[in-house]
Amino acid sequence: MLQFCEALESRMFLSATPVFHKAAPTPTQVADLQAIATAQMTLADDRAARLTTLATDRAAIPAVRSADQAAISADLGTIVEDRGNPSLELANEDQLRADRAKLLLDVHTDTVTLNTDSITTYRQILTDIRAVTAARLQYQRDVRLHL
């Protein structure tokens, strides 16, 4: 039994001494690691900004719809009050048409803004991911070449 234990202790993989020594990073490798960290922080910031921007854009649509609906309701109330007066009825109906058109235009404008911001922020995140990947690849090359 003792011979078996001594045989195991002499093996390299059970030895307590390290076989490989990792060299300290070179200044180039340190710069690469800093570039990776910077790119990752930019990516995280852009992801957070995307969430905030899209949440704001999504909240704007019901808010503008509610405001325009209130104007339309007021127009309908005015039409009921002014019933029987032909000149006011025409003006009120014109105002109602204008407010309905404004509702459609405002919702459309906010929807376009949401879609545009979604595409723009998504492209920015893809650019950031490419930057992180490029920084990691550069670091791997520098480690492989011992730079």
DSSP structural state of residue 19:
S
Q: How many helices (H) and strands (E) does the chain have?
A: 3, 0
The domain ranges of the chain are 27-144
pLDDT digits (tens, 9 = 90+) for 95-136: 999 999 999 999 999 999 999 999 999 999 999 999 999 999
pLDDT digits (tens, 9 = 90+) for 19-53: 666 778 899 999 999 999 999 999 999 999 999 99
Instruction: Identify the pLDDT of residue 12.
Output: 56
**pTM for the full model?**
0.74
What would the two tokens of residue 101 be? 């058109």
